[in-house]
Amino acid sequence: MKKILIAVCCIVVICSCNKINSFEKTVFFPKHEWDSKVQPNFQFEITDTVAAYHIYVVIRHEDAYHYSNLWLNVSTTAPGEKSNTQKVNLQLANNTSGWLGTGMDDIFDHRIRITKLPIHLKKGIYQFNLQQIMREDPLGAILNAGIRVEKINP
């Protein structure tokens, strides 16, 4: 029995030593509202230029959020390049399933991919800026917003 316990512990230690292949940063909105003047800025350093990546927007909101989507301006600045801004419409709910993210009680988390295909990134520091561009300002029932950069395993 003791040998089995030692073997299981060794397997757990070996399997848990995998390197994390994603970066995720979020900001918290203390009043649970996102003013359009508050534009969270995130920096990630890319060292592996061989790997491909997906980029996600991370949103956390209350069940009291009034809309099924969220319009954002997502600005990306690659190393040595000018900022590139894209307008994205994040679908948070639909009539069939309700909220599309994962939820617990009245809080829902969404990780919504904004890159259609895996992309290769240059070595260096990337900057991401998020600005909500909804008609309601400040936008209520929003708890967190952020960016996730996830390395694709071959």
| β-strands 69-77, 119-120 pairing | unpaired
Rounded CA Rg of the chain:
19
Q: What are the phi and psi torsion angles at 110 (to 5°)? A: -130, 135
Cα(62)–Cα(141) distance, rounded to whole angstroms?
5
CATH number of 21-152: 2.60.120
- DSSP helix/strand/coil, 125: strand
Cα of 14 vs its chain's centroid, Å: 28
pLDDT at 116: 92
Domain ranges of the chain: 21-152
Condensed to tens digits (0 to 9), the pLDDT of residues 87-137 reads 999 999 999 999 999 989 899 999 999 999 999 999 999 999 999 999 999
Give the largest CA-CA distance in the chain.
Answer: 64
